[in-house]
């Protein structure tokens, strides 16, 4: 399964100048240590939770601050043994750019650089020059080929710090899950869907993405077994389903055959330790098993098991990125560009035939099964839209946001999206590498997507136009 847990190494750094017994004035260590003793506890208190653990270096010396090149190897080794997922360099005064570069280059993890604003100008002396040191550190990180994020030189209590910190945690989670991505693929691409072609070998060689395929004969065999084993559970599921959905004239046997697909995908995910599933959902399971899987995809999303429809591997990867950006607190939606609004020149129908999470159903909507597939409108608000896509060996990550708007009622799961310039965006999708399949998630994670692309070679961020 996907992991939203992070272990972050906190690395306070100060400048050291040999002036025994103790330097007085600018770069005096007392003021750097004072910054550290305020900032580290603040970070742990405000950003530590069941998903986020921080590892400090209080064991290193009395200050718990790195300042000597000779200590860098020990610090890097300690963080490696702690298996940190990301590094946060906290510049407590001018700092030591060499220490920052030496530790970071040995860890190969997403790295955050920040330092507090210089506040102490008493006695006509500047005691820290933190911002000046940040400029120096950034260059040393670049020279050591360290990819890093940056928060503006600010107070730790400021909004810009909070936004930057939460963005970095999301990006670190994206990088961690992308580098450890294991996808289960059920079935094969169906005949009319050539637009979703992908290069499995290239994904493995470039990014280490592992894809395990299951054929539909195995799926039907497992579904048959589970249908016999789960009759008691399916009867209870049937009662809950009829309370939630208007099931029309579908008979109980057909409904239970749709519901048992939930158990199949759930078992498949757990027994194969996958992150996400890409499912064939048009002809194979329907012909082989005699029931559509769209309802199962909808219900599974609310159980935090995600199945991407139409065997779209690139959309599957996009879903993982959005899940990771939100650290599992939001769920991905698979709304494709379907048709323009009949009256609003900049509105588009983002639709699919049933897989959207019930969590986002608009208030007052009564979900129903249309041609066996869930149908309801999504709640209004701001959403991120994204697409991971390849073309001629190059990989792109499209990202942006939109707000919902009013539009005609239709079947399936859907929302109407308001863009700034839809004709421009339409042309981008027609002429660019992207297909019409998109992934969405509530909130605006555009900057997360942009920042993520900095850490992954051969992925180029592409800002949404329109």
**Could you read off the pLDDT of 51-79 as tens digits, one per residue?**
999 999 999 999 999 999 999 999 999 99
Instruction: Write down the pLDDT at residue 121.
Output: 84
How many whole angstroms separate alpha carbon 53 and alpha carbon 33? Answer: 22
Average pLDDT, the chain: 95
Instruction: Write down the pLDDT at residue 432.
Output: 84
Burial of 394 (0-12, 13-18, 19+ CB in 10 A): exposed
Dihedral-angle region of residue 27 (phi above 0 means left; psi in -120 to 50 means alpha; beta otherwise)? left
Note the pLDDT tens digit of each residue in 133-150: 999 999 999 999 999 999
Residue 153 has pLDDT above 80, yes or no: yes
Average pLDDT over residues 31-40: 96
**Helix (H), strand (E) at residue 225:** helix 216-229
Residue 17 has pLDDT above 90, yes or no: no
Note the pLDDT tens digit of each residue in 288-343: 999 999 999 999 998 999 999 888 999 999 999 999 999 999 999 999 999 999 99
Share of the chain above pLDDT 70, in %: 99
Instruction: Write down the pLDDT at residue 433.
Output: 95
Residue 226 has pLDDT above 80, yes or no: yes
DSSP 249-290: T--HHHHHHHHHHHHHHHHHHHHHT-SEEEE--SSHHHHHHS
Residue 50 has pLDDT above 90, yes or no: yes
Note the pLDDT tens digit of each residue in 422-437: 999 999 999 989 999 9
Average pLDDT over residues 95-121: 95
The CATH architecture that domain 182-463 belongs to is Alpha-Beta Barrel (3.20)
Q: Confidence class of residue 283 from pLDDT cuts 50, 70 and 90?
A: confident
Share of the chain above pLDDT 90, in %: 87
Neighbours of 145 (CB within 10 A): 10
Instruction: Write down the pLDDT at residue 466.
Output: 64
Q: Confidence class of residue 274 from pLDDT cuts 50, 70 and 90?
A: confident
pTM of structure: 0.96
CATH classification code of 6-175: 3.40.50.10940
Structural domain boundaries of the chain?
6-175, 182-463
- Contact between residue 365 and residue 385 where contact means Cβ atoms under 8 Å apart: no
In degrees rounded to 5, what are phi and psi of residue 216? -75, -20
- Contact between residue 328 and residue 2 where contact means Cβ atoms under 8 Å apart: yes
């Amino acid at each position: 399964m996907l992991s939203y847990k992070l272990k972050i190494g906190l690395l306070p750094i100060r400048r050291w100048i040999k002036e025994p017994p103790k330097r007085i004035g600018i770069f005096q260590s007392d003021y750097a240590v004072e910054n550290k003793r305020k900032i580290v506890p603040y970070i742990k208190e405000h950003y530590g939770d069941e998903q986020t653990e921080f590892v400090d270096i209080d064991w290193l010396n009395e200050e718990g601050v790195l300042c000597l090149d000779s200590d860098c190897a020990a610090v890097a080794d300690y963080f490696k043994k702690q298996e940190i997922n990301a590094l946060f360099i906290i510049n407590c005064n001018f700092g030591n750019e060499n220490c920052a570069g030496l530790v970071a280059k040995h860890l190969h993890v997403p790295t955050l650089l920040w330092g507090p604003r210089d506040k102490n100008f008493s006695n006509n002396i500047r005691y820290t020059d933190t911002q000046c040191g940040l400029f120096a550190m950034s260059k040393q990180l670049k020279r050591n080929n360290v990819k890093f994020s940056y928060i503006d030189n600010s107070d730790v209590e400021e909004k810009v710090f909070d936004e930057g910190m939460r963005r970095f945690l999301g990006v670190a989670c994206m990088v961690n899950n992308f580098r450890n991505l294991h996808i289960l693929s059920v079935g094969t691409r169906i005949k009319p869907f050539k637009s979703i072609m992908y290069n499995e070998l290239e994904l493995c060689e470039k990014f280490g993405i592992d894809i395990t395929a299951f054929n539909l004969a195995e799926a039907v065999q497992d579904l048959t077994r589970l249908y016999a084993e789960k009759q008691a559970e399916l009867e209870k599921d049937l009662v809950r389903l009829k309370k939630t959905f208007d099931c029309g004239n579908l008979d109980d046997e057909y409904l239970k055959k749709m519901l048992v697909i939930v158990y199949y995908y759930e078992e498949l995910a757990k027994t194969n330790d996958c992150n996400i599933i890409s499912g064939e959902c048009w002809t194979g399971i329907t012909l082989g098993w005699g029931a559509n899987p769209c309802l199962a995809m909808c219900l599974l999303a609310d159980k935090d098991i995600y199945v991407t429809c139409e065997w779209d591997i690139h959309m599957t990867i996009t879903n993982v990125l959005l899940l990771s950006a939100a650290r599992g607190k939001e769920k991905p939606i698979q709304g494709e560009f379907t048709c323009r609004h009949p009256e609003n020149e900049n509105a588009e129908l983002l639709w699919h035939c049933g897989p959207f999470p019930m969590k986002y159903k608009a208030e007052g909507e009564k979900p129903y099964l249309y041609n066996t597939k869930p149908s309801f409108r999504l709640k209004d608000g701001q959403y991120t839209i994204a697409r991971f896509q390849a073309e001629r060996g190059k990989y792109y990550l499209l990202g942006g946001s939109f707000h919902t708007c009013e539009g005609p009622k239709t079947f399936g799961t859907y929302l109407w999206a308001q863009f700034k310039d839809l004709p421009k965006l339409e042309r981008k999708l027609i002429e660019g590498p992207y297909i019409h399949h998109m992934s969405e998630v509530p909130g605006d994670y555009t900057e997360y997507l942009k920042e993520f692309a900095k850490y992954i070679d051969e992925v180029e961020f592409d800002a949404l136009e329109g």
